[in-house]
Amino acid sequence: MDNTVNSAMLDPATGWSILALFSLVWIFLGWFWGRKARALDDFMLAGRNVGMALGVATAMATWVTSNTTMAAPQLALQLGIWGMVGYSLGSVGLMLFAPLARRIRHLMPFGYTSGDFVRLRYGKTAWRVFLLISLFYAFGWLISLGMAGGVLIHALTGIPYQYGMTVILSICVLYTLLGGLRAVIGTDFIQTIIILLGIGMLCWLAITRLGFDDIHSAVAESRPELLNLLMPAAIMFLFNNLLFGVGEIFHSNVWWSRAFAFRKGVGFSAYLTAGAMWIPIPIVAGFVALAVPALGLNVPAADMVGPMVAARLSGALGAVVVFIVVFSALASSLDSLLAATADLILQDIYRGHLRPAAGENELRVAAKLIILGLGLGAWLLCLPRLTTLAELLYFTGAFVSSTIWPIAAGLYWRRTNAAGATLAMLLGTGVGLYSYFAIGFYVAALSGAAVSMLTVIITTWLRPADFNWQTLRAETEAVA
């Protein structure tokens, strides 16, 4: 019997039907929630009044990307039990951001972007270095998500890559354009529920159809290293993944824009709860991969292990569930990234560098054009399906981890100085990139963060500044 599953698990007609149904729902909701958004704050930051339920769900959904649903099973198959647990440590970033979100809302109640903070706290040089890092990361993530969309839709349904990628990008651009952050956060809630129910159901199927004992004994017999609690590469991955996640969350405007958008007093609890509820998701998604030996599956591509197991366990229904979960996971991250990156370009490039005197109406039009331009740019870059572009995101570990200390210290230590923060970002990125090429991907974030930390601590100690926290509130209030 050939146990290799190479062909698509759903026929294209079913794939198109599911895509059409969900696309219509997201676009309608985007229009519905966005129809009353008149002011720029409404469009960019959902009126700055988002409550706890939507706050928790949007943080969870945005952090569950196609990587979580597809790469967690892949990592479980490659690195075993620590692959699952290591991936779940991505939640540490969300939980550590909880106090920062409260501090951000307190210091800058009228702020718009993470760039605002770096500009006001450290000045223009650090701001420009930060913008380069942040935009590089955002584009890397955007392209990797767009390409993942095309690849996954093709793998699951047989729909050609270009069509699938175009559909997922167009849908997200359209409803973000119609409803701004309100549409993003509203759809995130529904997408979170879908993702949780979907992966829970697949894990439940694996347990009831195969049982823990059969799954465990088959893995112990054919791949015992996956159950080894002392696998060195996996333990290294665990720490690197933790720091990569912290760096991604601390610097990215995706998370800052939510800190500004959440109602006063919600940020801390929302991020903490989202982090706690995110912990088990990669474990549940990853466990499904451990069923591979018990099912006797041959896996041609490690990142397709989740859908393959689902299809084997429950046939077409499993494949439909996986497709809906993956589509939801992709959309929930893509829309957030589009909205937050558009905010960053609007506030820090357009208003910050090109049109400082732009009025609210001009900015609203510019915000929409930027979302459209971002979608178009991502589509053009994703079209040739260059795998080197998809790998761009892996490089960014070195970049983002170098921002952890300048951001955290900048929010809490008034003595941290601008030159030290700039140097920390540059040195951390440089050393992180060197480690990436000289040693391996699993140390890039680790070394970048370490060098950045040392630089911030030493420069703060050698040349202490005396920053006035009131500057942040006063300056952002004046702009708002």
Partner 1 sequence: MILSSDLLAILVTAALAVVTLSPLVLLGLLAKDWKSGKLW
Binding residues for partner 1, per CB under 8 A?
A: 46-47, 49-54, 56-57, 60, 81, 182, 185, 189, 192-193, 196-197, 199-200, 203-204, 207, 212-213, 215-217, 220, 224, 227-230, 263, 277, 279-281, 283-284, 287, 290
- Provide, rounded to whole angstroms, the least separation between the CB of residue 431 and partner 1: 33
SS3 108: coil
Q: Which is nearer to partner 1, 287 or 399 (CB)?
A: 287
Q: Which is nearer to partner 1, 47 or 373 (CB)?
A: 47
- Provide, rounded to whole angstroms, the least separation between the CB of residue 277 and partner 1: 5
CA-CA distances (angstroms) from residue 22 to 28, 126, 159, 266? 10, 42, 16, 30
Q: Which is nearer to partner 1, 221 or 391 (CB)?
A: 221
- Alpha-carbon torsion (56, 57, 59, 63), positive or negative: positive
Q: Which is nearer to partner 1, 6 or 49 (CB)?
A: 49
The Cα 346–Cα 344 span in angstroms is: 5
Q: Beta-carbon neighbour count of residue 263 at 10 Å? A: 17
Q: Which is nearer to partner 1, 192 or 402 (CB)?
A: 192
- Provide, rounded to whole angstroms, the least separation between the CB of residue 165 and partner 1: 29
- Provide, rounded to whole angstroms, the least separation between the CB of residue 217 and partner 1: 7
Do 257 and 115 touch, CB atoms closer than 8 A?
A: no
- φ, ψ at 160 (rounded to 5°): -50, 145
- Provide, rounded to whole angstroms, the least separation between the CB of residue 471 and partner 1: 30
Q: Which is nearer to partner 1, 199 or 272 (CB)?
A: 199
Do 131 and 252 touch, CB atoms closer than 8 A?
A: no
Q: Which is nearer to partner 1, 197 or 301 (CB)?
A: 197
Q: Which is nearer to partner 1, 233 or 479 (CB)?
A: 233
The residues, ordered by sequence, that sit 6+ positions from 264 with a Cβ below 8 Å of its Cβ are 105, 109
- Provide, rounded to whole angstroms, the least separation between the CB of residue 172 and partner 1: 20
Do 169 and 146 touch, CB atoms closer than 8 A?
A: yes
- Provide, rounded to whole angstroms, the least separation between the CB of residue 304 and partner 1: 21
Q: Which is nearer to partner 1, 343 or 348 (CB)?
A: 343
The Cα 116–Cα 127 span in angstroms is: 8
- Provide, rounded to whole angstroms, the least separation between the CB of residue 346 and partner 1: 21
Report, in angstroms and rounded to the nearest whole number, the Rg of the chain calculated over CA atoms. Answer: 22
Do 50 and 262 touch, CB atoms closer than 8 A?
A: yes
CA-CA distances (angstroms) from residue 463 to 17, 137, 414, 417? 62, 30, 12, 7
The residues, ordered by sequence, that sit 6+ positions from 154 with a Cβ below 8 Å of its Cβ are 8, 160, 161, 164
- Provide, rounded to whole angstroms, the least separation between the CB of residue 224 and partner 1: 7
For the chain, the straight-line distance linking the first and the last C-alpha, in angstroms and rounded, comes to 67
